[in-house]
Amino acid sequence: MPGLYFEDFKVGQVFNHTVRRTVTEMDNVLFSALTHNPAPLHIDEEYCREHTEFGQRIVNSAFTLGLMVGVSVEDTTLGTTVGNLGWNEVRFPRPLFHGDTVHCRTTVDELRESKSRPDAGITIFLHEAFNQKNELVALCKRVALMKRRAK
């Protein structure tokens, strides 16, 4: 497994993920439909042209969040996470549009021992997503319960 164990992380460690993803109209409309989100911001181009400051549909923020965290998994937690404990400080400073290409960065923000699980530790990751203009479009802190190496 390529994922890292709790002991492998260092506070301040940065992962510039090589996987990039161009977001398509299909991604946005399908995700919105699958999650029962009928907001016209995501599915109604004419509404957005006439009634929003963006003049076009914006990508569903839950998709953006999932993509940002998902891109990080192979470099950080694949096969070594017990589970996510929470996502905090979720922000979307700029909208993401169809055709934008996302790249992501993860920084290890905090490490602490688990009080209840001697076989695991708690890692807090700061995930950031950027568009092709290198503008920040999303960020969050993810609290993950990470496996420790067997002794």
Distance (Å, rounded) from C-alpha 149 to C-alpha 57?
Answer: 46
Distance (Å, rounded) from C-alpha 1 to C-alpha 144?
Answer: 17
pLDDT tens digits, 34-75: 999 999 999 999 999 999 999 999 999 999 999 999 999 999
Distance (Å, rounded) from C-alpha 56 to C-alpha 44?
Answer: 9
DSSP letters spanning 38-62: --HHHH-HHHHHHH-SSSS----HH
State the CATH architecture for 6-147: Roll (3.10)
Please report, for the chain, the start and end positions of each structural domain, with discontinuous segments joined by +: 6-147
pLDDT tens digits, 83-122: 999 999 999 999 999 999 999 999 999 999 999 999 999 9
pTM metric for this prediction:
0.94
